[in-house]
């Protein structure tokens, strides 16, 4: 659905005033690093590597390093483009499953050192890290645990090599706002010419706790994606959709961490705070392919409302093209998308409107906003004060017109809120707006300040 420009002024941006009592402290709460990360809301992925030049998504591990040959690579162009799209950070595929490293690593010859790019003197990880520092964008890396190139893959030696790669990244680049341990372990690969299928028990093999310690020894604020020690969780699909009912509560049980059904919604009575991240590509593939087109503006808007609007962060992928740039087709849409969202939320219709709160009635806490004159609304943004945990399980939205309370008609389930919840509905003129918390785990604390 596309919001018509004429309605943009009729958007309510709501930080509900605090409801009644202070909540008791039970249930998981975010760490300071998780709280900071949740406030980033949107950041970018860059998939770039040998796959880009060979029209592939998953290189087998034997694609020649000489084929990595961007003619016009400019990491500042990436960073400035991403900033213009409202991205707060960027995560680069320092190594994808094919094993090719975008920095001049000592751990393998299968790297940028043996490519024509800058006659083997280039360092894309370093160049992007530098550009981020220069222009004030947060930086993160993706380092695939699965490596289809290495002959030692499957043995202890490979795990040492993998940890050494992490150590190099930590020693030479950073700080990282997020470190990605991808979960894919497809089995078959080149593996130094063996060309066979190798399977490992991911939860033990990679020694993720050690990997995490290497990162945290220098950069303790790094958020960790994947493995056995994550501080955030995958949403369970790559379509750009979080479930409307969306808990930050979860468990660190490895089976749960791989259960796409649970990942999509979180676990209401989970014992750790593990907020969701929605990863999706602006094009069908993660890597650039000549014959693919970016998603439409409407699709991108839906992705925003189905991720950030449902209590999850959005990691939007930009496949850098063969020249080494983010293509104009992608950046044009993404900039327009961001400007549209900016316009949409520019006018907070409830800013100067003080709500009245009723005493809890049958345990329903409610807020009523009365407008000086009939006002048209079509979107509502709610936030819980998540520093105290996530509690709201069900709420309702009603409006008052011509002497009657009527329900707001929306396709969105009005269940959880969390860090941020955005409810879109058909524009409706009202004299009053009522928000009722119908069910919650303990008393509710709603964010009045915004984060």
User: Out of 127, 178, 182, 330, which residue is the one contacting ligand FUL (CB under 6 A)?
Assistant: 182
Q: Could you tell me the smallest distance in angstroms from the CB atom of residue 141 to ligand FUL?
A: 12
| Residue whose pair of structure tokens reads 């094993």 in the numeric block | 99
Stretch binding ligand FUL (CB under 6 A), from 178-186, 324-332, 335-343, 346-354: 178-186
Q: Could you tell me the smallest distance in angstroms from the CB atom of residue 42 to ligand FUL?
A: 16
Q: Could you tell me the smallest distance in angstroms from the CB atom of residue 185 to ligand FUL?
A: 9
User: Out of 68, 158, 177, 286, which residue is the one contacting ligand FUL (CB under 6 A)?
Assistant: 286
Cβ nearer to ligand FUL, comparing 287 with 337 = 287
Quick one: which of 247, 101, 271, 279 has its CA closest to 182? 279
CB atoms within 10 A of CB 121: 9
Q: What string marks each residue from 7 to 46 as x (binds ligand FUL by CB under 6 A) or -?
A: ----------------------------------------
User: Out of 9, 184, 328, 346, which residue is the one contacting ligand FUL (CB under 6 A)?
Assistant: 184
Q: Is 279 in the site for ligand FUL (CB under 6 A)?
A: yes
Stretch binding ligand FUL (CB under 6 A), from 28-36, 182-190, 250-258, 300-308: 182-190
Give me the helices (H) in 27-183, please. 32-38, 50-53, 75-84, 124-135, 156-172
Sequence-distant (6+) residues with CB within 8 A of 363 are none
Q: What string marks each residue from 134 to 173 as x (binds ligand FUL by CB under 6 A) or -?
A: ----------------------------------------
- Nearest-5° Cα angle at 110, 324 to 189: 100
Q: List the interface residues with ligand FUL, window 56-95 (CB under 6 A).
A: 57
Stretch binding ligand FUL (CB under 6 A), from 181-189, 190-198, 200-208, 300-308: 181-189
Alpha-carbon span 235 to 316, nearest angstrom: 13
Stretch binding ligand FUL (CB under 6 A), from 109-117, 179-187, 345-353, 396-404: 179-187
Stretch binding ligand FUL (CB under 6 A), from 128-136, 180-188, 290-298, 407-415: 180-188
DSSP secondary structure string for all residues of 188-239: EE-GGGT-EE----HHHHT-HHHHHHHHHHH-TT-EEESSSS-SBEE-S-SS
Q: Is 234 in the site for ligand FUL (CB under 6 A)?
A: no
Alpha-carbon span 26 to 343, nearest angstrom: 38
* Cβ pair 176, 141 in contact under 8 A: yes
Query: For the chain, what percentages of helix, strand and coil (3-state, to nearest 5) are there?
Result: 25, 25, 45
The one-character DSSP state at 120 is G
Q: Is 284 in the site for ligand FUL (CB under 6 A)?
A: no
Cβ nearer to ligand FUL, comparing 57 with 429 = 57
**Whether the bond into 322 is cis, omega within 30 of 0:** no
Cβ nearer to ligand FUL, comparing 94 with 437 = 94
Give me the helices (H) in 223-362, please. 254-257, 260-265, 297-305, 328-344
Cβ nearer to ligand FUL, comparing 63 with 378 = 63
Q: Which residues bind to ligand FUL, rule: CB under 6 A?
A: 57, 182-184, 279, 286
């Amino acid at each position: 659905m596309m919001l018509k420009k004429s309605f943009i002024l009729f958007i309510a941006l709501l930080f509900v005033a605090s409801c009644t009592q202070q909540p008791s402290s039970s249930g998981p709460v975010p760490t300071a690093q998780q709280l900071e990360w949740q406030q980033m809301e949107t950041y970018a992925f860059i998939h770039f590597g040998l796959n880009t030049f060979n029209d592939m998504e998953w290189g087998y591990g034997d694609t020649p390093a000489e084929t990595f040959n961007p003619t016009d690579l400019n990491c500042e162009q990436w960073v400035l483009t991403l900033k213009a799209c409202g991205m707060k950070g960027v995560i680069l595929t320092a190594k994808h499953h094919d094993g090719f490293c975008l920095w001049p690593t000592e751990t393998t010859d299968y790297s940028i050192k043996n490519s024509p790019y800058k006659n083997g003197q280039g360092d894309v990880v370093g160049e992007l890290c530098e550009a981020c520092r220069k222009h004030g964008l947060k930086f993160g890396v993706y380092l695939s645990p699965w490596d289809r190139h290495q002959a030692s893959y499957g043995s202890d030696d490979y795990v040492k090599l993998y940890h050494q790669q992490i150590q190099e990244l930590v020693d030479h680049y950073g700080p990282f706002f997020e470190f990605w341990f991808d979960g894919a372990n497809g089995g078959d690969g080149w593996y130094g010419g063996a060309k066979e299928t190798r399977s490992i028990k991911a939860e033990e093999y990679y020694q993720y706790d050690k990997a995490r310690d290497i990162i945290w020894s220098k950069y303790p604020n790094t958020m960790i994606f994947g493995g056995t020690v994550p501080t955030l969780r995958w949403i369970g699909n790559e379509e750009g959709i979080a479930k409307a009912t969306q808990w930050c509560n979860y468990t660190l049980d490895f089976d749960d961490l791989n259960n796409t059904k649970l990942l999509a919604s979180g676990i209401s009575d989970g014992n750790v705070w593990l907020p969701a991240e929605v990863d999706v590509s602006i094009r069908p593939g993660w890597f650039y392919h000549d014959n693919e087109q970016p998603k439409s503006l409407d699709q991108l808007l839906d992705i925003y409302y189905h991720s950030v609007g449902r209590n999850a962060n959005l990691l939007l992928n930009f496949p850098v093209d063969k020249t080494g740039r983010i293509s104009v087709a992608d950046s044009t849409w993404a900039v327009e998308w961001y400007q549209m969202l900016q316009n949409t939320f520019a006018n907070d219709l409830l800013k100067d409107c003080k709500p009245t709160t009723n005493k809890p009635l049958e345990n329903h806490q409610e807020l009523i906003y009365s407008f000086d004159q009939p006002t048209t609304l079509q979107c509502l943004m709610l936030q819980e004060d998540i520093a105290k945990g996530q509690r709201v399980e069900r709420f309702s939205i009603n409006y008052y017109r011509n002497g009657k309370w009527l329900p707001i008609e929306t396709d969105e389930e009005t269940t959880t809120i969390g860090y941020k919840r955005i409810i879109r509905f058909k524009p409706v003129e009202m004299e009053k707006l009522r928000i009722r918390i119908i069910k919650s785990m303990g008393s509710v604390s709603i964010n009045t300040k915004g984060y």
